[in-house]
Amino acid sequence: MSLGDFTGTHADLDALSGIASRLRNGAQDLDSMTAPPPAPVAGESTEAIAGAMAMLTISAAEIVEILNGMGDAVAHGRDVYDDTDAGTIKDLSRLGEITGEN
């Protein structure tokens, strides 16, 4: 058996980068819309509606933070996988040199 037989793991690094990018872009898009709209003219309900809209705006801002954090986590995981994979390839190559199997 040669070291070339150990090729059973794979992560699509481009796909992981794309996922991280979509999460971050989604956060950016949502963040651009987090200013509350003007309060409607709804008589006695105006204040309650404005308060509900403000709460929704706060929730949207929290979602932006979560999406950014998720994008960062996916990007970090992608980088860790890439670094680990490169280190393993290097280690296996050295092992192959030592054992005479390449």
The rounded distance, in Å, linking the Cα atoms of 53 and 34 is 10
The rounded distance, in Å, linking the Cα atoms of 21 and 17 is 6
Place of tokens 């960062």: 72
What local confidence, expressed as pLDDT, does residue 3 receive? 47
Query: For residue 81, what are its two tokens?
Result: 């996988």
Domain ranges of the chain: 13-36+43-99
What local confidence, expressed as pLDDT, does residue 21 receive? 97
Contact assessment for residue 77 and residue 23, using Cβ atoms and an 8 Å cutoff: no
What's the farthest any 2 CA atoms get from each other in the chain? 85
Greater pLDDT, 5 or 63: 63
Q: What is the pTM of this model?
A: 0.70
What local confidence, expressed as pLDDT, does residue 4 receive? 54
Greater pLDDT, 2 or 100: 100
Mean pLDDT score, 63-87: 94
Alpha-helical (H) ranges within the chain are 13-31, 46-99
Q: Using the predicted structure, report yes or no on whether residue 9 has a pLDDT greater than 50.
A: yes
Q: Using the predicted structure, report yes or no on whether residue 84 has a pLDDT greater than 60.
A: yes
The rounded distance, in Å, linking the Cα atoms of 48 and 84 is 54
Q: pLDDT per residue over 18-74, tens digit each?
A: 999 999 999 999 988 767 778 788 999 999 998 998 898 889 999 999 999 999 999
